[in-house]
Amino acid sequence: MPIDTAALHRFLTELLGTGGVIDDPAAFARYTTDWAGDKGGDPWMIARPATPEQVADIVAFCHRHQIPMVAQGGHSGLVGGAQPDPERGELMISLERLNRIRHLDPVNFSMSVDSGCILQTVKEAAEEADCYFPLALGAQGSCQIGGNVSTNAGGLNVLRYGMMRQLVLGLEVVLPDGRLWNGMHALHKDNRGYDLKQLFIGAEGTLGIVTGAVLKLAPRPQTSRTALIAVPDIAAALALYGQARRSCCDLLSAFELIPRVCMELAFEAAPDLPDPFDDAHPVYVLMEVSASGPADLDTMIEHLFETGAEQEHVLDGVLASSETQAAQLWQIRESMLEGQQMRGEHLRTDVSLPISGLTAFFEDASHAVTQRSPDTQIIAYGHIGDGNLHFNLLPPARLDLEAKKALLHELEDALFDIVDAHHGSISAEHGIGRVKQAAFLADLSDTEYTLLKGLKQLFDPQGLMAAGRILPR
Amino acid sequence: MPIDTAALHRFLTELLGTGGVIDDPAAFARYTTDWAGDKGGDPWMIARPATPEQVADIVAFCHRHQIPMVAQGGHSGLVGGAQPDPERGELMISLERLNRIRHLDPVNFSMSVDSGCILQTVKEAAEEADCYFPLALGAQGSCQIGGNVSTNAGGLNVLRYGMMRQLVLGLEVVLPDGRLWNGMHALHKDNRGYDLKQLFIGAEGTLGIVTGAVLKLAPRPQTSRTALIAVPDIAAALALYGQARRSCCDLLSAFELIPRVCMELAFEAAPDLPDPFDDAHPVYVLMEVSASGPADLDTMIEHLFETGAEQEHVLDGVLASSETQAAQLWQIRESMLEGQQMRGEHLRTDVSLPISGLTAFFEDASHAVTQRSPDTQIIAYGHIGDGNLHFNLLPPARLDLEAKKALLHELEDALFDIVDAHHGSISAEHGIGRVKQAAFLADLSDTEYTLLKGLKQLFDPQGLMAAGRILPR
């Protein structure tokens, strides 16, 4: 049945007013081009509902008229999930106007919000109430809570506070047939039947559109310490991690691996950034501890330095003595990403392994890359406290764009095989979307495929909602 | 179709050997009578598989021959979920022989186990590796990991470490058609598609039988402090909780509410137990903090005492000065349960509320009980850091058993209405099983009911596995 886009337009304009519908393709770019410059297809039009009920009405209309649709949050995803389908055509439902903080309850350590709230806004509101919403991502100034839920977002603080799944107490979701499910419970414990909200977390919008969430808050940290530690190799970084978990008493909130090559990328992007050490070291760890009360963080970190030095895991270390110095250490982490971006075409991966398997994976993966392309540069950093590595590759500068792409494609396949061999995941935190679908499906057992298909069929038998993401249409 | 139990017996004996099948009804009692003395029906027989593959073979046989079945772990559940169906008849599959610790990986902070492992055994194995498995329940000496997963067990340490859901990295499950799903990933982050394991956690065995799990470990605490604090009322206890989360820097591992009446029950059960205070106080809080490294816990607790006293939340407090004294404080918590049991027939509930709503709920619920039965005694204690209250009732001693049961039934209905009015849950941690099914269904929206039914139908279209638990047959 051909889509009657004129009728859709009439319906949306009546429901949302003219400001609620974007129909001028010249205005689409902001919604169709992602931060990396990748362009999805154009939607037929973009609906901008401002209430959960409006989202429900739109979805019900699409359900009745078999109109494919896709929801979009802050559009900072990395796997093309929120990009419109370039072939089939879709109505895009942008949640940017659904941005009320509904209720902040510091006594319950919870906060109820619309799904279009920007993460940074939520974090700031929590802090004003002497609370803390721990999710921390590079994109936090633009990404939205609904997207964080739908992608089960990770980021820097997972090792202490968990991924988004662990930060959600309740959800409100518009189901693919337009029914509005109210699961906005603000309960820290609730064992009534199957936990439906778990299905929507990480489902990338394929089972429903999240319109609201009750978030779990923590006490606001009052003090924090940032340290950069130089270690001889990755094995030492991992040993130091085990020690850091113990010495820092679960107050460790970040533990990032930064090999020397990444440090140099940071200096390329920010030439004024000082090297915190006199000598270059093979591998660094950037770590942070924080506390909401009278914890002696310096003693913990000294204990870690001493134990690490005794066991020859630590070559050198610097403990930031001021907030400015701490910010400078964190700037290494950020500038390194800019430096990588400045080098042009490269392969970004997002793999996870058992922490105990990281060293062997690193060796096997490096060997596989070097064997195939000796002058491809390995930029492997990540949240190693979670076993999560961004094992990225910079192809040789001498190749043209097509040759680079072909090489990176081949190397990605080889890497993913090694991830499998080491019982890892090809998507630790970014999800599947469309970009990783082929690799995802290649690994899925028949049992898993039938269960996933069954779930999609149960929620969206017409295959209208975010179709083609995670599973093929 | 009538069940050919003779054929089932032949199949099981051939698969498992004679030790693997219990067919003598005289030997059933251990599996059919729960800790509270409640008796389920008799199963046709009890299969005792020793490997996941044997579980799969049994389930496949049942699937082919339409034989209803129910799995049983340590049989310490509180809602009748693992009791055989008294009407329809079932094959019971006991997982007690499936009890290997498969792999302990301290570097990855993970542990892979058979589902029949006893929680206490798992905790001890973790400690030997300088790690910690935080789940802590009264029944930990007998309950099994598979049951902990299937009921999403809670307990004492939830406020710091989460419920079982947050402690599971991977699962292995026999699906109702006998397929063995291997989701035994030992990854701290994994965002590949829908997270299937979430469906089985808390599903009470209705969607599959858990045969293995990868558990998430924490660093082993090296020091801990236990304190008992007297406060004027529940509102003060809640204010103290917010302060304790902050002062104790997320190192707070338990925060239990104990009203005076519960303290007196403890003294009834253990007359030698000393009252830690010279005076009786209206309400007490029993709290514990622990740390794996050099944290100054005394300073944190002193900070809490001082802040609490300034704000008039604290009347008196005792900080245990030795492990013996700490154990004595915890004995109050345990003896109080014995004291309650000694009083005979009583109503046990397991409700949760937003923490900010506990005071109002407490008032409304007490009022409702007193209005209906002025001499019913309210025994309300619980994990208030999770908003979880066991609001239990002791009926007047003068009533006979039938009258007591009728009264408690009426009071339970009234309590559950008040829970609803305060946006709470009638099952914070115990689940639904059969015991709470009617109350659960009464509150379910049509949308939720169709989704839950759809999930059950997707996994178990013949309705053979743990049928009648959570949802009606």
Within 8 A of A194 by CB-CB distance, chain B residues are 199, 202-203, 207, 452, 455, 470
Candidate from A130, A250, A425 with C-beta closest to B251: A250
- A354 vs chain B: nearest CA distance in angstroms? 5
Asked, for residue B331, whether it belongs to a domain, the answer is: yes
Residue that finishes a domain, picked among A280, A313, A340: A340
Enter the pTM of the model: 0.97
Q: Identify whether residues B201 and B254 lie together within a single domain.
A: no
Q: Identify whether residues A256 and A147 lie together within a single domain.
A: no
Per-residue pLDDT of A313-341, as tens digits, reads 899 999 998 999 999 999 999 999 999 99
Is A201 in contact with B219 (Cβ distance < 8 A)?
A: no
Tokens at B119, concatenated: 């929680």
Q: Identify whether residues B164 and B229 lie together within a single domain.
A: no
Let me know: does B335 contact B273? Beta carbons within 8 Å: yes
- B382 vs chain A: nearest CA distance in angstroms? 12
Asked, for residue B462, whether it belongs to a domain, the answer is: no
Asked, for residue B148, whether it belongs to a domain, the answer is: yes
Residue of A nearest to B304 (CA): A293
For A118, which DSSP code? B
Q: Tell me the C-alpha distance between A404 and A347, whole Å.
A: 10
Candidate from B186, B190, B425 with C-beta closest to A428: B190
Candidate from B179, B198, B296 with C-beta closest to A195: B198
Instruction: Give the model's pLDDT for residue B231.
Output: 97
Q: Tell me the C-alpha distance between A313 and A322, whole Å.
A: 25
Is A181 in contact with B447 (Cβ distance < 8 A)?
A: yes
Q: Identify whether residues A129 and A200 lie together within a single domain.
A: yes
Domain count, chain B: 3
Q: Identify whether residues A164 and A257 lie together within a single domain.
A: no
Q: Identify whether residues A230 and A316 lie together within a single domain.
A: yes
Q: Identify whether residues A272 and A163 lie together within a single domain.
A: no
Across chain B, mean pLDDT equals 95
Q: Identify whether residues A389 and A416 lie together within a single domain.
A: yes
CATH number at A284 reads: 3.30.70.2190
Across chain A, mean pLDDT equals 95
Percent of chain A with pLDDT over 70: 100
Residue of B nearest to A301 (CA): B294
Candidate from B107, B383, B470 with C-beta closest to A355: B107
Within 8 A of B181 by CB-CB distance, chain A residues are 445, 447-448, 451
Asked, for residue B277, whether it belongs to a domain, the answer is: yes
Q: Identify whether residues B317 and B238 lie together within a single domain.
A: yes
Of A144, A160, A65, nearest in space to A97 by CA: A144
Is B250 in contact with A246 (Cβ distance < 8 A)?
A: no
- A270 vs chain B: nearest CA distance in angstroms? 31
Within 8 A of B199 by CB-CB distance, chain A residues are 194, 198-199
CATH number at A385 reads: 3.30.70.2740
Asked, for residue B20, whether it belongs to a domain, the answer is: no
Q: Let me know if A127 is exposed, middle or buried by CB neighbors in 10 A (0-12, 13-18, 19+).
A: middle
ipTM, interface predicted TM-score of the complex: 0.97
Span of A28-42, A251-265, A364-378, B178-192 with lowest mean pLDDT? A28-42
Residue that finishes a domain, picked among B390, B421, B452: B421
Residue of A nearest to B420 (CA): A185
For B84, which DSSP code? P
Is B159 in contact with A188 (Cβ distance < 8 A)?
A: yes
Asked, for residue A332, whether it belongs to a domain, the answer is: yes
CATH number at A180 reads: 3.30.465.10
Q: A2 pLDDT band (50/70/90 cuts)?
A: confident
Is B182 in contact with A245 (Cβ distance < 8 A)?
A: no
Is B249 in contact with A454 (Cβ distance < 8 A)?
A: no
Within 8 A of A303 by CB-CB distance, chain B residues are 293-294
For A318-327, the CB contacts below 8 A with 24+ separation are A318/A227, A318/A228, A318/A229, A318/A276, A318/A277, A319/A225, A319/A226, A319/A227, A320/A225, A320/A226, A320/A227, A320/A228, A325/A226, A326/A224, A326/A225, A326/A226, A326/A288
Task: Say how many CA atoms lie within 13 Å of A335 toward its Cβ.
Answer: 20
Per-residue pLDDT of B1-49, as tens digits, reads 688 999 999 999 999 998 899 999 999 999 998 877 778 889 999 999 9
| Full residue range of the structural domain in which residue B193 is found | 101-219
Of A441, A443, A435, A444, nearest in space to A408 by CA: A435
Let me know: does A96 contact A121? Beta carbons within 8 Å: no
Q: A90 pLDDT band (50/70/90 cuts)?
A: very high
Of A243, A214, A215, A213, nearest in space to A227 by CA: A243
pLDDT higher than 90, residue A37: no
Is B428 in contact with A196 (Cβ distance < 8 A)?
A: no
Is A158 in contact with B189 (Cβ distance < 8 A)?
A: yes
Instruction: Give the model's pLDDT for residue B409.
Output: 96
Residue that finishes a domain, picked among A421, A440, A466: A421
Percent of chain B with pLDDT over 70: 100
pLDDT higher than 80, residue A35: no
- B106 vs chain A: nearest CA distance in angstroms? 8
- Please state whether beta strands A316-319 and A223-231 pair in parallel, antiparallel, or not at all (unpaired): antiparallel
Q: Identify whether residues B360 and B326 lie together within a single domain.
A: no
Asked, for residue B94, whether it belongs to a domain, the answer is: no
- B303 vs chain A: nearest CA distance in angstroms? 8
Per-residue pLDDT of A130-159, as tens digits, reads 999 999 999 999 999 999 999 999 999 999
Asked, for residue A363, whether it belongs to a domain, the answer is: yes
Q: Identify whether residues B361 and B312 lie together within a single domain.
A: no
Residue bearing tokens 């096997």:
A364
- B267 vs chain A: nearest CA distance in angstroms? 30
Residue of A nearest to B104 (CA): A356
Q: Identify whether residues B106 and B196 lie together within a single domain.
A: yes
Instruction: Give the model's pLDDT for residue B39.
Output: 81
Instruction: Give the model's pLDDT for residue A227.
Output: 97
